[in-house]
């Protein structure tokens, strides 16, 4: 009772997070540091024994501690290719997912008959897409080739997009652009299925837009288009950032991600040092890119408070 | 009686009249959108008003009118101090001339105006006399109104249609164009919206329909090229075989029971511990809080794959090598009990955001009444966070149900549903296709695989169907935003 109030409160704070703190040190921080150590080790130092691995720490680091990284980027036949293709893929799909989910969220936020039903359908991927079901179904659908989902996208892919591009005269200008459009349109299935959470988050943000803003805009005679750019976008911009990070992390941690698949392969080969090096360099690259983009986006974000 | 009378008299004070006029205007405003539907013709006839009509407008008419094209460009100032508008807003005070029916922008209209002028010059005076008060539509809030009495010319004794027509006449070109665009948009948009939602909903539902269609058919149907969606031979045989193969009928090591035990137990532990942690981060100030919260964010960012190997050896040599926890359910329970389970970082984050949003007075009151902080949390904060708890709990169940990476890393014999599903191909090969006369092609196997998928997601689908509202509406209140 002699402890001053502020001090006591801060002690209570430690009390509340102590459970988590213990768990984090045990199950998160120590393994994290250990795996960071792995990637500087020689493979010979990392002998798997009966109890899993022999422990190594940073002071065990040998002379050539960059070997694994050098090997990953210079010698490994797949790593660099996979890395580039995954990064390219992420760079392509992330904006698509963001735009798409914002679009759908705006639609689902409007008043119309059967809105509850439509929402239920669009959130369905949230409960299914994280599991193995998605991969199996996706593979099976591709195998049978008899489903209309594929036909649906084939329709777009072969005829309409090409013709549209031809019509616009883009065909001659850039083959790359048409490739991009094609790849996006072909992957409508993946796009829709990986934007469940994002739609949810955007929808939540949209519902936080004050009614007064909407009223004032309609008083001033704003069209829906202007309303979107001047009201909706500023208000949801913090969530665009959140969704961006979520999308990148999501695609980054997927197990069907090529780089991650390669890492897991190497782990199965007992090549832990190399696997850790690949995983960490991938993680570092993604984090640096995300950091830069977050800083850029932050410039354009509108925060209502502060 | 006197008291009754005096308010009657007071009605003629300026305020009362203003209020009445305001109400009428509001009533008309609701009818506004229908305006262009009734009359579209005046679009041409009103054009001349611009050049000569303003002179006849009584100077009393306040210069409230602004062209819509300009006003719409300045919606942002509504958001307080968001972006000070650099563009020149046509300030009502700054404009001395009362004749601002179409003030600044001469726009391309100027070319067409003369001809329209000549066509209907008589139109202009009538218009200005009939309603000098409304050179523009009244969705612009007009302030002080000395001429409120003019309201009666429009509002009363006229059909809605008539009133609209007159008002349409008084609008300038841009306003009519605006209304027309709005009307066309409102007509077309539902159709497009339906098409978009239908198409995308179809893409989402395709896998479900695929599962339903393939899970209940004979495998022979797969070789019939005429069958795509509707099976010819409906059967439950495949379902039963798959259920048996997945071990759902076993008494020991039943994947379904394992999953339920893990799932519900871990979810409850995790939600409770994450809520406590989130509350600690939200409401207490202590040294290193930002640093520790940085670790929470790191937990969200770092993929499990990176730490799985060291984690394996931790579990294998638990308590300094005395206990082997591999293939024990504790490998899931221990992290969940310490707020480090699957996606725990995200859950702590959600709870922290939510508790930050609750009013501080709640706990202050509890503290004053002598509650300790933990009792305050349990008795005051938790009941207020019920919907948030439910949402996070549901997500946690889904994530545990769908997880197979953690399970496959740390379990060797213990089976869970998603683990079985992941290896379903191999399991089926051993259990069903292992005899010589079962001549099953890869294409036919799909039937069993789809049946397995359907079985494994059915509980989640039922849960989703029952608690759909909490999934979709709960997250909006759960404080993920803000």
Q: What is the CATH number of the domain that holds A130?
A: 1.10.3720.10
Please indicate, yes or no, whether residues B241 and B384 belong to a single structural domain of this protein: yes
Looking at chain B, the whole-number percentage of residues with pLDDT higher than 90 is 8
Spell out which residues of chain B touch residue A112, defining contact as CB-CB under 8 Å: 190, 193
CA quadruple B432, B437, B442, B445: dihedral positive or negative?
negative
Asked whether residue A281 is assigned to any structural domain, the reply reads: yes
Pick from A251, A226, A229, A198: nearest CA to A300? A229
pLDDT at B276 over 90: yes
- Cβ distance of B193 and A110 shorter than 8 Å: yes
Quick check: A99 contacting B, CB < 8 Å?
no
Q: Determine the pLDDT at residue A255.
A: 67
- pLDDT band at B22; cut points 50, 70, 90: low
Size of interface A-B (CB pairs under 8 A): 316
Asked whether residue A12 is assigned to any structural domain, the reply reads: no
Q: Among A105-109, B38-42, B208-212, which is the least confidently predicted range? A: B38-42
Mean pLDDT, range B418-431, rounded to an integer: 84
> How many angstroms separate the CA of residue B367 from the nearest CA in chain A?
11
Please indicate, yes or no, whether residues B309 and B431 belong to a single structural domain of this protein: yes
Mean pLDDT, range B299-320, rounded to an integer: 83
Asked whether residue B229 is assigned to any structural domain, the reply reads: no
Q: Among A15-19, A24-28, A238-242, which is the least confidently predicted range? A: A238-242
Asked whether residue A160 is assigned to any structural domain, the reply reads: yes
Reading the block at residue B13, the tokens are 């004070």
Q: Determine the pLDDT at residue B295.
A: 93
Spell out which residues of chain B touch residue A218, defining contact as CB-CB under 8 Å: 139
pLDDT at B273 over 50: yes
CB count within 10 Å of CB B161 equals: 13
Residue of B207, B210, B305 lying closest to A264 (CB–CB): B305
CB count within 10 Å of CB A167 equals: 9
Chain A residues 198-227 with CB within 8 Å of chain B: 200-201, 203-205, 207-208, 212-213, 216-224, 226-227
Is pTM beyond 0.80 here?
A: no
Chain centroid to CA A302: 23
- DSSP alpha helices (H): ranges in B107-251? 109-119, 123-130, 151-155, 160-169, 173-215, 237-245
Of B222, B247, B274, the one marking the end of a domain is B222
Please indicate, yes or no, whether residues B142 and B271 belong to a single structural domain of this protein: no
Q: Which of B200, B297, B448 to mutate to test the interface with A (most CBs of A within 10 A)?
A: B200
Q: Determine the pLDDT at residue A274.
A: 83
pLDDT at A22 over 90: yes
Angle A133-144/B173-215 helices, nearest 10 degrees? 90
- Cβ distance of A27 and B334 shorter than 8 Å: yes
Q: How many residues does chain B have?
A: 482
Reading the block at residue A263, the tokens are 């890492």
Residue B169 near residue B126 (C-beta atoms within 8 A): no
Asked whether residue B293 is assigned to any structural domain, the reply reads: yes
Number of folded domains in chain A?
1
What mean pLDDT, rounded, does chain B reach? Answer: 71
Residue that is written with structure tokens 């009445």 in the block: B20
Residue B326 near residue B413 (C-beta atoms within 8 A): no
Quick check: A57 contacting B, CB < 8 Å?
no
Please indicate, yes or no, whether residues B166 and B251 belong to a single structural domain of this protein: no
Mean pLDDT, range A49-67, rounded to an integer: 63
Chain A residues 151-170 with CB within 8 Å of chain B: 152
Q: What is the CATH number of the domain that holds B262?
A: 1.10.3720.10
Query: Tens of pLDDT along B73-101?
Result: 444 444 444 444 444 444 444 444 444 44
Asked whether residue A43 is assigned to any structural domain, the reply reads: no
3-state SS record for chain A: CCCCHHHHHHHHHHHHHHHHHHHHHHHHHHHHHHHHHHCCCCHHHCCEECCEECCCCHHHCCCCCCHHHHHHHHHCCCHHHHHHHHHHHHHHHHHHHHHHHHHHHHHHCCCCCCHHHHHHHHHHHHHHCCCCHHHHHHHHHHHHCCCHHHHHHHHHHHHHHHHHHHHHCHHHHCHHHHHHHHHHHHCHHHHHHCCHHHHHHHHHHHHCCCHHHHHHHHHCCCCHHHHHHHHHHHHHHHHHHHHHHHHHHHHHHCCCCHHHHHHHHHHHCCCHHHHHHHHHHHHHHHHHHHHHHHHHHHHHCCCCCC
Mean pLDDT, range A51-79, rounded to an integer: 70
By residue range, what is the domain housing residue B391? 237-477
Residue that is written with structure tokens 């922008």 in the block: B105
Query: Tens of pLDDT along A85-115?
Result: 888 888 888 888 999 999 999 998 888 888 8
Residue that is written with structure tokens 């976008």 in the block: A233
What mean pLDDT, rounded, does chain A reach? Answer: 78
Q: Determine the pLDDT at residue B471.
A: 64
Please indicate, yes or no, whether residues B188 and B263 belong to a single structural domain of this protein: no
Reading the block at residue B163, the tokens are 């009133």
Pick from A284, A270, A246: nearest CA to A94? A246
How far apart (Å, rounded) are the C-alpha atoms in residues B422 and B404?
8
Measure CA of the first residue to CA of the last residue in chain B; give whole Å: 56
Asked whether residue B230 is assigned to any structural domain, the reply reads: no
Residue A202 near residue A239 (C-beta atoms within 8 A): yes
How far apart (Å, rounded) are the C-alpha atoms in residues B302 and A110?
36
Please indicate, yes or no, whether residues B431 and B395 belong to a single structural domain of this protein: yes
- Cβ distance of B335 and A23 shorter than 8 Å: yes
Asked whether residue B413 is assigned to any structural domain, the reply reads: yes
Please indicate, yes or no, whether residues B131 and B269 belong to a single structural domain of this protein: no
Number of folded domains in chain B?
3
Q: Is B330 helix (H, G, I), strand (E, B) or coil?
A: helix
Reading the block at residue B43, the tokens are 């679009």
- B51/B344: higher pLDDT: B344
Asked whether residue A97 is assigned to any structural domain, the reply reads: yes
Find, in chain B, the residue whose alpha carbon is nearest to that of A252. B303
Residue that is written with structure tokens 């069907």 in the block: A256
Q: Among A161-175, B86-100, B277-291, B380-394, which is the least confidently predicted range? A: B86-100
Query: Tens of pLDDT along B220-234?
Result: 887 777 777 788 888
Please indicate, yes or no, whether residues B256 and B140 belong to a single structural domain of this protein: no
CA of A8: how far to CAs of A13, B66, B201, B273, in Å? 9, 61, 54, 21
Residue that is written with structure tokens 């048409």 in the block: A178
Pick from A67, A130, A71, A126: nearest CA to A101? A126
Asked whether residue A243 is assigned to any structural domain, the reply reads: yes
How far apart (Å, rounded) are the C-alpha atoms in residues B333 and B317?
17
Please indicate, yes or no, whether residues B401 and B440 belong to a single structural domain of this protein: yes
By residue range, what is the domain housing residue A272? 66-300
How far apart (Å, rounded) are the C-alpha atoms in residues A70 and A277?
10
- Cβ distance of A302 and B185 shorter than 8 Å: no
Chain centroid to CA B75: 22
Please indicate, yes or no, whether residues B175 and B186 belong to a single structural domain of this protein: no
Residue B306 near residue A264 (C-beta atoms within 8 A): no
Please indicate, yes or no, whether residues B92 and B8 belong to a single structural domain of this protein: yes
Question: What value, to the nearest 5°, has the Cα angle with vertex B298 and ends B294 and B299?
Answer: 120
pLDDT at B55 over 80: no
Q: Determine the pLDDT at residue B449.
A: 86
Please indicate, yes or no, whether residues B49 and B193 belong to a single structural domain of this protein: no
Residue that is written with structure tokens 């050539």 in the block: A64
């Amino acid at each position: 009772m002699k402890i001053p109030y502020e001090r006591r409160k801060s002690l209570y704070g430690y009390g509340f997070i102590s459970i988590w703190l213990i768990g984090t040190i045990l199950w998160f921080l120590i393994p994290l540091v250990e795996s960071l150590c792995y990637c500087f080790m020689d493979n010979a130092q990392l002998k798997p024994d009966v109890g899993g691995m022999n422990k190594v720490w940073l002071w065990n680091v040998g002379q050539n501690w960059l070997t694994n990284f050098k090997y990953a980027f210079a010698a490994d036949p797949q790593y660099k290719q996979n890395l580039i293709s995954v990064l390219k893929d992420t760079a392509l799909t992330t904006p698509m997912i963001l735009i798409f989910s914002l679009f759908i969220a705006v639609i689902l936020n409007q008043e119309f008959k059967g809105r509850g039903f439509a929402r239920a359908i669009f959130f369905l991927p949230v409960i299914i897409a994280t599991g193995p079901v998605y991969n199996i179904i996706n593979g099976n659908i591709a195998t049978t080739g008899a489903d209309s989902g594929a036909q649906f996208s084939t329709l777009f892919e072969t005829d309409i997009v090409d013709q549209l591009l031809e019509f616009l005269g883009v065909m001659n200008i850039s083959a790359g652009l048409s490739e991009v459009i094609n790849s996006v349109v072909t992957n409508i299935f993946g796009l829709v299925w990986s934007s469940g959470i994002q739609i949810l988050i955007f929808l939540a943000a949209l519902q936080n837009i004050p009614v007064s803003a909407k009223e004032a805009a309609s008083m001033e005679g704003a069209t829906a288009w202007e309303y979107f750019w001047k009201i909706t976008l500023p208000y949801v911009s913090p969530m665009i950032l959140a969704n961006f990070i979520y999308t990148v992390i999501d695609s980054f941690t997927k197990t069907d991600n090529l780089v991650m698949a390669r890492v897991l392969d190497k782990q199965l080969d007992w090549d832990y040092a190399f696997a850790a090096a690949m995983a960490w360099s991938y993680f570092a690259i993604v984090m640096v890119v995300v950091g830069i983009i977050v800083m850029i986006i932050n410039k354009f974000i509108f925060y209502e408070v502060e | 009686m006197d008291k009754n009378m005096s308010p009657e008299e007071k009605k003629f004070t300026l305020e009362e009249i203003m209020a009445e006029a305001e109400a009428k205007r509001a009533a008309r405003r609701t009818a506004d959108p229908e305006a262009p539907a009734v009359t579209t013709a005046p679009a041409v006839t009103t054009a001349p008003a611009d050049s000569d009509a303003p002179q006849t407008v009584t100077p009393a008419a306040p210069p409230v009118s602004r062209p819509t094209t300009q006003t719409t460009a300045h919606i942002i100032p509504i958001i307080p101090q968001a972006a000070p508008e650099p563009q020149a807003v046509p300030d009502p005070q700054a404009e001395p001339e009362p004749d601002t029916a179409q003030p600044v922008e001469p726009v391309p209209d100027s070319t067409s105006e003369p001809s329209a002028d000549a066509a209907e010059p008589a139109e202009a005076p009538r218009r200005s006399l009939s309603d000098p008060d409304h050179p523009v539509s009244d969705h612009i809030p007009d302030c002080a109104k000395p001429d409120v009495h003019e309201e009666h010319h429009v509002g009363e004794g006229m059909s809605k249609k008539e009133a609209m027509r007159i008002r349409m006449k008084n609008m300038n070109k841009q306003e009519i164009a605006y209304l027309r665009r709005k009307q066309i948009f409102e007509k077309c948009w539902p159709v497009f919206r339906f098409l978009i939602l239908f198409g995308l909903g179809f893409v989402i539902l395709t896998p479900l329909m695929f599962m339903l269609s393939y899970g209940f058919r004979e495998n022979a149907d797969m070789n019939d090229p005429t069958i795509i969606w509707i099976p010819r031979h409906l059967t439950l045989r495949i379902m039963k075989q798959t259920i048996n193969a997945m071990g759902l009928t076993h008494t020991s090591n039943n994947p379904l029971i394992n999953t339920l035990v893990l799932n519900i137990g871990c979810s409850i532990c995790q939600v409770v511990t994450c809520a406590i942690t989130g509350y600690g981060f939200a409401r207490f100030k202590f040294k290193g809080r930002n640093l520790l919260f940085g670790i929470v964010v790191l937990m969200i960012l770092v993929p499990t794959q990176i730490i799985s190997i060291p984690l394996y050896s931790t579990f294998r040599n638990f308590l300094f090598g005395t206990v082997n926890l591999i293939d024990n359910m504790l490998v899931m329970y221990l992290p969940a009990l310490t707020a480090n389970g699957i996606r725990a970082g995200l859950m702590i984050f959600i709870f922290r955001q939510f508790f930050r949003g609750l009013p501080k007075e709640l706990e202050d009151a509890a503290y004053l009444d002598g509650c300790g902080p933990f009792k305050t949390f349990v008795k005051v904060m938790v009941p207020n966070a019920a919907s948030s708890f439910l949402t996070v709990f549901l997500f946690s169940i889904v994530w545990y149900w769908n997880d197979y990476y953690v399970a496959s890393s740390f379990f060797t014999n213990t089976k869970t549903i998603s683990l079985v599903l992941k290896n379903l191909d191999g399991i089926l090969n051993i259990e069903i296709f292992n005899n010589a006369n079962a001549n099953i092609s890869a294409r036919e196997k799909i039937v069993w695989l789809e049946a397995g998928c359907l079985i494994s997601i059915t509980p989640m689908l039922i849960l989703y169907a029952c608690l759909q509202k909490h999934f979709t509406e709960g997250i909006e209140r759960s404080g993920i935003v803000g």
